[in-house]
Structure 1
């Protein structure tokens, strides 16, 4: 068993990206990605598989093979395409490291045992696979070296010859004892040696952005850890992509505790991408552990909140008899879960209208109703026990046809004119 530690990086400036500690333990910086070419995590893992010690001439193989297998595994298992692998290995072809002699540590330049060493390790791995029709790989060489007490470059050459043929030993000798460096092979040569393209399906999920709470109270994104009201449904969106070279099938499973609560599957062509969403309704309050796509997060389910009316307004505050006012209630939810409430709008203490409103966690909403006032004097309108006064004038503001202000002025003028005519007779 290998024990790996993600070393925190927020307050510590580590001098290296990772280190093997003991025979089967290692740590790596927490911010180092696992799906990059030559992943630090894979590099240090390979070191835990090396149990040999080396003499000076054999020192190169320790970092060389860890660097090579970290690159190969990131290509085969973590979705790094062949162009990314090839670009990574190209470092071994550059000067000055390319001219360094691997079996002579004093000749190393620019970490030649990492960069040229990885390229040479990959070339030997490729040659061994081709020479044995896939029956032997560089892993056989490393397994043989693990049985040695102290490994020299001659021991490495002997292990290569035993795993392959004299031709592979000759190549290993030339590439480790001279300044010769191999070229990076192309994608066709890679396929011939390391096998045909295969589907490589990856399911991605971000607990910070891919969760959605839906139900009678809301339809909104949320983030882990999640707090839901009983009866709400949690929807989880995943991104599925095929990073391999062949069509493949995928299955995405949503678990609550140990129980599978939702599953979806499909087929993706090479370079294909799709979204797969799964959902589960949480009926009962409690604390649940949810897992999907290798991620785990907590869902807390509580009884729905009961929002309350915290503010009230009315417009206008003075009306004529028979007019309407608009009563607006502010409904507040100070809880961490959503809920709804029914607001009863009143006139003189009697309910005249109701409105049901849902309010999200730590949020507020406004809801209104119109109320007709038919009695003159001070009238009270309100909602859920709160009320405000409105002045209702006794005279209706509704005009009688023919008796508006212009008509009244005209009538008075007519009366005065008639009076003048009569006085002039």
Structure 2
């Protein structure tokens, strides 16, 4: 008798963008403007997301002041340190942090995320990114970011080294045998002896293989180079798409690239970014969206949109459409450029309308509606092959997260789309991912 596979389940991450996705969220009554540097703010968010049985909390990162700090909070606290704090106050939720391959060294990143995986009992994940902004380059003694293809070539080599370091201890290398006086089987530690274009790293790592074998690898590849990096290394991808058709095509492309590299057909889970604005009625939800957008200075939104498009802000006019001659910025964020332009062209939107519909011009998809409407939309994307789950960005935190966890999640659970309890303890178990096999020891020739 054949055993049927368990039903496919949604994956939900909380992208904890300090005060919330909408730039004006910090101005709401009851919000704390200092939350962006308050570790307990993130602890409380993780605890609410854990109550909702989310797979993980995710923290983005920047190595510079990359937003308009005169108006809104920025990503400020270093995410792996912050998530170590979150780990002590939670028991199941995954802990995913961004770390750039452009301005770090592989050994330090391998050690940092392995430490987080040990500290949390197997709940760590690394979001692999390259960094394109000029401010970050200057903070690391460079005049500007590296060219796009070179950034991704470095990222590929960097990620390969990190994975090799995580495998430089065999699973049973640590012994701790008090009676025999044997602490570690040193023959089960192997240097990686990597000599490449960008890095020379001897290894091995200075701590044992982690509970998950490897922390889970995330990526956000929108360009062709980014998609290749995701197909080669990622186990889940944070994406940006505005329609089911766009996202389904992206999902097929990533998995075809992964399959061509010898990975499984569904090796990479696709988690589009999704902003939710929830109301008891659709009208109330739209009123909340409009009230939040009205608190954003137009100058802020215009500058943000111009930065995404890679053009001077004086080329944008609020009551005109986007310029016809937009060109993909050579070193800009390809993902958000493509998503924003496609949405504007499809809607024939003026700049003013575009900013309002994107709740401040962030580039990710925004749903405005009742819990039932939002659950319907999520189910439609999930059942039609457009997503394996979502990287959720509530409009304002913590209120928007509460609205989703206690309004939308129960509907998804009743429909059998989302777990009602955790069935494992590691992030890999939450996401249905296998534990990577360790490195095979090279036997001496007979």
The TM-score, its normalising length taken from structure 2, stands at 0.23
More strand by share: 1
Question: Over alpha carbons, which structure has the higher Rg?
Answer: 1
The TM-score, its normalising length taken from structure 1, stands at 0.24
More helix by share: 2
